Amino acid sequence: MKLAKVDPLQESTRRHFFSQCSMGIGSLALSSLLAEVQMGYASGTSDTLAPRVAHFPAQVKSVIYLFMAGGPSQLETFDYKPKLNELSGQPIPASFIEGKRFAFMDSSHRVDLLGFRPQFNQYGKSGIWVSDYLPHTAKIIDDLCVLKTCKTDLFNHAPAKLFMNTGSGQFGRPSLGAWVTYGLGSVCDNLPGFVVLQSGPRGPRGGAMHWSNGALPSSYQGVPLRNQVDPILNLSTPESITAGQQRQLVDAVRELNLKRLIETGDQEIATRIQAYEMAYRMQSSAPELMDTQQESAVTLSQYGIKDAQETSYARNCLLARRLVERGVRFVQLYHTNWDHHGGPTENLETHLPAICKEIDQATAALVSDLKQRGLLDETLVIWGGEFGRTPMGEVRESTGRNHHIDAFTMWFAGGGFKPGYVHGETDEFGFASIEDSAHVRDIHATILHQLGLQHERLTIRFKGLDLRLTGVEKAHVLHGLIS
Amino acid sequence: MNRSILITLTASLMVVLLLVQVPCCAGSEPPIAISYDRDVRPILSESCFACHGFDAESRQADLRLDVADDGGKASRVIIPGDPKASELIARIESTADDDRMPPPDSGHPLTPHQIDVLRAWIQQGAAYEQHWAFIKPVMPSPPPINSVDHPIDRFIQAKLLANNLATSPPADRETLLRRLSLDLIGLPPTIAQIDDFLAASNINADTAYRQTVDRLLASPHYGERWGRWWLDQARYADSHGYSIDNPREIWLFRDWVVNAFNADLPFDEFTIRQLAGDLLPSSTTDDNVATGFHRNTQINQEGGIDPEQFRIDSVFDRVATTGTVWLGLSIGCAQCHDHKFDPISQKEYYRLFAFFNNQDEPTLDFYPAGIDGVLIKAELRAIEKHIERLFDECIKEINVWEQSRSKDHLASLGSSVREAISIPGDKRLASHKLALMQASSQLPENQLSEQEIQTYQQLRSLLAATVKTMVLKERKQPRTTTVFIKGDFTRPDDEVTAGTPSVLHAMERSKGALNRLDLALWIMHPDNPLTARVIVNRVWQQYFGLGIVETENDFGLQGVSPTHPELHDWLAIQWIERRWSFKELHRLIVTSHAYQQSSFESAELRKIDPLNRLLSRQNRIRLDAEIVRDVALTSSGMLATKIGGPPVYPPIPDGVMSQGQVKREWTSSLGTDRYRRGLYTFTYRNTPAPSLNVFDAPEGQSSCTRRMRSNTPLQALTLMNDQAFFEFAQGLEKIIDRDGIVLAFRRCTGREPDATELAILARFDSLGAARVLLNLDETITRE
């Protein structure tokens, strides 16, 4: 793919060169050199994060993807199926499950339907059904576009998460965030273009592969931001080095590199000079970003944050807003664990309501906050996991549900998705879609579309194929979801 | 072709035409001969074959454009010599969206120039050619060039001359030595080596250079440098991958590769041992270790999975990797359907699959030299039986003893006894039983001597120190192989037997069923048009940044044609004639002027040939991730030069190992293992060491035939702040204090600093200057 590049050398950096270059190089030579860089023949270099023009104009600039790792149950949250309670304990009609494969098939898989516990009510002007496990989400339901008929191909956690993130169950493919950053570059010159935040008892199954750059250059890899002294790996200057010494280092490296650039003519050196400048800026901008104590008490309580320095999903939601405010292209939050099989630490009785409570308030606060700040139109918020859960119960020590790939719920807010709208319908048990099934690749195509990227054109040549997020099978932009 | 076509050429296309030696822009225009293979096929392949190509399943309108005779239809849309009457031209020029080809939503629109090429091709008779890569190379003779000896240079300079370009002058001697050293052994030259080389060059530059080549090729570090190149392709890593990503032990394979390069094992033997070492008539342990090549697939240890699904996935990987590495073909594309671009049917894919479907995947115990593992195991087993028999005789007494222990007494017992007690009775091993008998004083006198017990413990520790490595082993009972519909292992279709694609050379029939050895021999057969070309191209790519064929993993119809086809074929044949010796191939390339010329660019050259495809200069290449580390280690005087052995754990930033699904400990190595070459750093596929990862080291997820070279702020943060690099700076600080800044500069860049550079460095104390030096673009670049 060839995309036009915009302004590869920042204005400020250029001024910096002129004012501080202390070598004996004529300003004429330097200015013509910089002019050449400016004219873009440096496009053969690997300044991979320079902003790029989309395939077509689009309103959406950033994405916040709230990934509910483990597979949240649609039946206890958004997909209201009274019939399930009526027939609880009875086997699901055989026609539903013939020829289907499930995880843990041999051990605990059951065919008996399992009723749900929460109360469902209709909320907002839209009257969309939401369970009382998510009271805050219910209040913003008129801002959400709820897709009840998501469908995926894989039913084990790691492959399914990879599929949701990369369009393939195989390890080593570029993730959605990498593709978006590859397609659009980054307008933020002091933070990475693709940032990952994590909360919950452990990392998502599959780990860093979910924010992999795959076949794309490593600059598109998601950068995990951590709630530690060093939010980004190697961000801090070594202990015995002062800030002034670090600046001197960056200056000297720039001067010597620029000298070598002039001698060798190699434009990669111009890119490296910029990389050092950005690295230096990151050293101050990332800690500033993480300093959530700057936020007002009202904002903190809106998100449900008790300690501004805590490590929690709620604080990650706030950080997500701060990131998109600063122009970061793609922010992905992972929250574990939604894998409610019915075991001692993962059942529907206590653990599902608890995790719903963990995410509910902050999620709603994030959407409201973005809206209030006028950022919701240009930001797309996505909520969902790698798959859903079966209407049939799993009965271990307590109750749970197995992985289910045929129909599950995700929602979208902002980003040009229709607010207060439900798309797709499932059958009486919520087992499969009966209307408007939306495959993962269709969802991907739609997300890219809202960013101004045509999924068939966003490609990279890899092992003889034009690799793309949506894969080889035909994907469709879900025009019904977008306004 | 007429003038109007020439006028529409874009700047980049000019270069393409220059490359193919088309006389252009001349006053009188001789017609440009369009070549199907060079000019037309890439267009059709990119924009048309997906629906009008080899794959019958997805073929539209019953029309094939990949062959001259498709049984009638193509002859109606292409009228040789008459583009106006050819429907193909009418359709690609159509302005109506529902009529135009390719369809507007295909994402592959034709440019006006591409349409011109297709029209000219039809005008000239619409001749098809067999794809170049499927035709066996024939030895070309290097064109005569005045006063140029080296055949490589004669090929290169003939093309440069045809385009009114010239080569660059030789790089200066210091640059050249550093280049050669980094390319052949992945380490920078020492100050003594630089001084020696400069002195010898003053006497006879050519001799000095050749002797240096010899010295470096004989260095044991050569195997580390080029072994890593192969390990990329072998998708080597030290963990199982997928979500759990447990550690695995397969570094003996890594050492096998390093040793094979150092011994200059001919590539045909190198190949046969890795693909089928277990099937060789007098297969040695080493040959079995080599089969680890195809055990570098991932293993899924997640709960709830179907193991057969992931066994099949690993076979898919083996087929795809074999195709990519040895044939330069994207065979994996035919897993779900006939290949859309290359003539490989889905059935042929599964015939290749059959070769890799008949293995068990055991772990081999590898004993140090002089130790007979079988004997040790037998001896150990005999003692264990003895212990167990004795234990059974006193089991009642032991039970009584065990139950009468107080908590305090239990806590006072030795760890081996406590461990034995914690294990349920039916799970206890001989070692547990022995510990219990000893602790309870139930060991009958004279039944088991002190010496026997000692021998027992010694044998056990010997076995515990045994290195394991993962290998392939052919099954006695072969599995049945079928086509899988859409590549789905739950949907078997027709049964198939092992075999190779019909577009390539035929396989010699052996007696009985075909196995991996037959496949390996087929790959290395002299009639194979691909393998030698594919590998010499990938070696060339290491030296110049890009291969002669830019698409180093795709020599199929979607691939890019070679820039220097004759040179490419000449190299391939030379390599075979030199008995597939890598060292000879390296010598051939690095002694050319093309390799030794300066890498400095001028703005003018850059305009004519921005990617330097004609090689009018060398290319500056940012070092591979491991070598970025190795150079810093060497410059700071900290490198531990030990070769081989288990992977090591240099310091990595806190928190890296918690990024995977399973949180792990990474205890940094102490002593010299902290300062080993990057090649030896333990690689978890899911959480690779960040300092290698940010410089684009592959993680072993799949075969990597060309590394990317990104250039990012995270690299800058690594070099400036990473704990390991800061330690290197402290090492270099000491050297500055001892030897001065000039010498330190030379250790990093291989050359003397000038006054400007010294003035900038003079602003710093020794540590500050050391940090500057280790952060220079020049330090991490091979110029």
Residue-wise pLDDT tens digits, A248-270: 999 999 999 999 999 999 888 98
pLDDT at A20 over 50: no
Beta carbons of A184 and A451 less than 8 angstroms apart? yes
According to DSSP, the residues that pair with B239 across neighbouring strands are B247
- For A178-221, how does the pLDDT look when each residue is reduced to its tens digit (9 = 90+)? 999 999 988 888 899 999 999 987 777 767 789 988 878 777 88
Chain A residue with CA closest to B304: the answer is A104
Kindly provide the b/e burial profile for residues A366-400, where b requires at least 16 CB atoms within 10 angstroms of the residue's own CB. bbbbbbeeebbebbbbbbbbbbbbbbbbbeeebbb
Q: Give me the pLDDT at residue B11, please.
A: 36
Average pLDDT over residues A318-323: 97
Confidence band (pLDDT; 50, 70, 90) for A23?
Answer: very low
CB-CB neighbours of B587 under 10 Å: 16
Highest mean pLDDT among A88-92, A222-226, B407-411, B567-571: B567-571
Q: Which residue has the tokens 């219910």?
A: A138
Q: Which two tokens stand for residue A452?
A: 């101004």
pLDDT at A315 over 90: yes
- Per DSSP, the residues of B296-349 read -S-----TT--HHHHHHHHHHHHHHHHIIIII---GGGGGSSS-SSSS--HHHH
Contacts by A350-355, CB closer than 8 A, 24 or more apart: A350/A398, A352/A73, A352/A76, A352/A133, A353/A117, A353/A118, A353/A133
- Among B13-27, B32-46, B114-128, B240-254, where is mean pLDDT lowest? B13-27
Q: Give me the pLDDT at residue B305, please.
A: 80
Confidence band (pLDDT; 50, 70, 90) for A29?
Answer: very low
Q: Which residues contact B1 (CB under 8 A, 6 or more apart)?
A: B29, B31, B32, B34, B116, B120
- Among A328-337, B82-91, B494-503, where is mean pLDDT lowest? B82-91
How far is it, in rounded angstroms, from Cα B756 to Cα B766?
18
- Report the amino acid identity of residue A89: G
- Per DSSP, the residues of B697-738 read ---SSS--SS------HHHHHHHHH-HHHHHHHHHHHHHHHH
Pairing of strands A399-404, A388-395: antiparallel
Kindly provide the b/e burial profile for residues B682-720, where b requires at least 16 CB atoms within 10 angstroms of the residue's own CB. bbbbbbbbbbbbbbbbbbbbbbbbbbbbbbbbbbbbbbb
Peptide bond into A337 cis (omega under 30): yes
Instruction: Choose the closest CB to B107 out of A249, A264, A456.
Output: A456
pLDDT at B30 over 50: no
pLDDT at A7 over 50: no
Query: How would you class A135 by CB atoms within 10 Å of its CB: exposed for 0-12, middle for 13-18, buried for 19 or more?
Result: middle
Where is pLDDT greater, at B120 or B224? B224
According to DSSP, the residues that pair with A384 across neighbouring strands are A67
Q: Which residues of B touch A405 (CB under 8 A)?
A: none
By residue count, chain A amounts to 483
Kindly provide the b/e burial profile for residues B423-439, where b requires at least 16 CB atoms within 10 angstroms of the residue's own CB. eeeeebebbbbbbbbbb
ipTM of this complex prediction, to 2 decimal places: 0.85
Q: Give me the pLDDT at residue A151, please.
A: 97
Q: Which of B34, B86, B94, B93 is nearest to B65 (CA)?
A: B86
- Among A314-323, A391-400, B690-699, where is mean pLDDT lowest? A391-400
- For B436-464, how does the pLDDT look when each residue is reduced to its tens digit (9 = 90+)? 888 887 777 677 788 888 888 888 888 87
For chain B, the straight-line distance linking the first and the last C-alpha, in angstroms and rounded, comes to 42
Question: Touching check for A192 and chain B: CB below 8 Å?
Answer: yes
Q: Give me the pLDDT at residue B327, please.
A: 97
Backbone torsions φ then ψ of A394, nearest 5 degrees: -110, 125
pLDDT at B186 over 90: yes
Beta carbons of B356 and B515 less than 8 angstroms apart? no
Helix (H) or strand (E) holding B691: helix B690-693
How far is it, in rounded angstroms, from Cα A409 to Cα A383?
9
Average pLDDT over residues B298-303: 86
- Among A11-20, B181-190, B331-340, B381-390, where is mean pLDDT lowest? A11-20
Q: Which two tokens stand for residue B112?
A: 């006006």
Q: How far is B776 from chain A (nearest CA, A)?
A: 6
- Report the amino acid identity of residue B638: M
Average pLDDT over residues B211-231: 98
Q: Give me the pLDDT at residue A53, please.
A: 80
Beta carbons of B341 and B557 less than 8 angstroms apart? yes
Q: Give me the pLDDT at residue B29, please.
A: 37
- For B710-743, how does the pLDDT look when each residue is reduced to its tens digit (9 = 90+)? 888 899 999 999 999 999 999 999 999 999 999 9
According to DSSP, the residues that pair with A395 across neighbouring strands are A399
pLDDT at B269 over 70: yes
Where is pLDDT greater, at B118 or B626? B626
Confidence band (pLDDT; 50, 70, 90) for A171?
Answer: confident
Q: Which residue has the tokens 């240009």?
A: A378
Where is pLDDT greater, at B677 or B556? B677
Distance of CA B633 to the CA centre of its chain: 24
pLDDT at A378 over 50: yes
Beta carbons of B339 and B301 less than 8 angstroms apart? no
- Among A26-40, A125-139, A144-158, where is mean pLDDT lowest? A26-40
- How does the average pLDDT of chain A come out, rounded? 86
- How does the average pLDDT of chain B come out, rounded? 89
Q: pLDDT over 90 for what percent of chain B?
A: 56
Q: Which two tokens stand for residue B432?
A: 């547990």
State the DSSP code for B37.
I
pLDDT at B331 over 70: yes
Where is pLDDT greater, at B548 or B430? B548
Peptide bond into B102 cis (omega under 30): yes
Question: What are the helix (H) ranges across B494-647?
Answer: 516-523, 531-544, 565-577, 582-590, 593-596, 603-608, 625-635
Chain B residue with CA closest to A252: the answer is B760
Q: Which two tokens stand for residue B710?
A: 């990104």
How far is it, in rounded angstroms, from Cα B304 to Cα A339?
13
Q: Which of B309, B339, B710 to mutate to test the interface with A (most CBs of A within 10 A)?
A: B710
B603 with A36: Cβ contact below 8 A = yes
- Per DSSP, the residues of B277-308 read GGGSTT--HHHHHHGGGGG-S-----TT--HH
Instruction: Choose the closest CB to B768 out of A44, A249, A463.
Output: A249
Kindly provide the b/e burial profile for residues A160-178, where b requires at least 16 CB atoms within 10 angstroms of the residue's own CB. bbbbbbbbbbbbbbbbbbb
Q: Which residues contact A92 (CB under 8 A, 6 or more apart)?
A: A111, A112, A113, A391, A392, A429, A431
B717 with A234: Cβ contact below 8 A = yes
pLDDT at B328 over 50: yes
Query: How would you class B315 by CB atoms within 10 Å of its CB: exposed for 0-12, middle for 13-18, buried for 19 or more?
Result: buried
Helix (H) or strand (E) holding B450: helix B450-464
How far is it, in rounded angstroms, from Cα B77 to Cα B83?
10
- Per DSSP, the residues of A63-95 read EEEEEETT---STTTT---HHHHHTTTSBPPHH
Q: pLDDT over 90 for what percent of chain A?
A: 63
Q: Which residues contact A405 (CB under 8 A, 6 or more apart)?
A: A151, A152, A153, A154, A155, A160, A387, A388
Confidence band (pLDDT; 50, 70, 90) for B376?
Answer: confident
Q: How far is B424 from chain A (nearest CA, A)?
A: 24
Q: Give me the pLDDT at residue B417, please.
A: 84
How far is it, in rounded angstroms, from Cα B717 to Cα B693?
13
Question: Touching check for A271 and chain B: CB below 8 Å?
Answer: yes
Helix (H) or strand (E) holding B270: helix B267-276
Confidence band (pLDDT; 50, 70, 90) for A314?
Answer: very high
Q: Which two tokens stand for residue B684?
A: 């978890």
Beta carbons of A173 and A162 less than 8 angstroms apart? yes
How far is it, in rounded angstroms, from Cα B183 to Cα B538?
14
Helix (H) or strand (E) holding A399: strand A399-404
Where is pLDDT greater, at B531 or A474? B531
Q: Which residues of B touch A206 (CB under 8 A)?
A: 242-243, 661, 686
Q: How far is B510 from chain A (nearest CA, A)?
A: 32
Query: How would you class B89 by CB atoms within 10 Å of its CB: exposed for 0-12, middle for 13-18, buried for 19 or more?
Result: buried
A275 with B712: Cβ contact below 8 A = yes
B764 with A157: Cβ contact below 8 A = no
Q: Which residue has the tokens 């199907």?
A: B36
Average pLDDT over residues B30-44: 78
Average pLDDT over residues B502-525: 90
Backbone torsions φ then ψ of A68, nearest 5 degrees: -90, 90
Confidence band (pLDDT; 50, 70, 90) for B59?
Answer: confident
B602 with A265: Cβ contact below 8 A = yes
Q: How far is B285 from chain A (nearest CA, A)?
A: 32
Instruction: Choose the closest CB to B243 out of A206, A256, A259.
Output: A206
Confidence band (pLDDT; 50, 70, 90) for B428?
Answer: confident
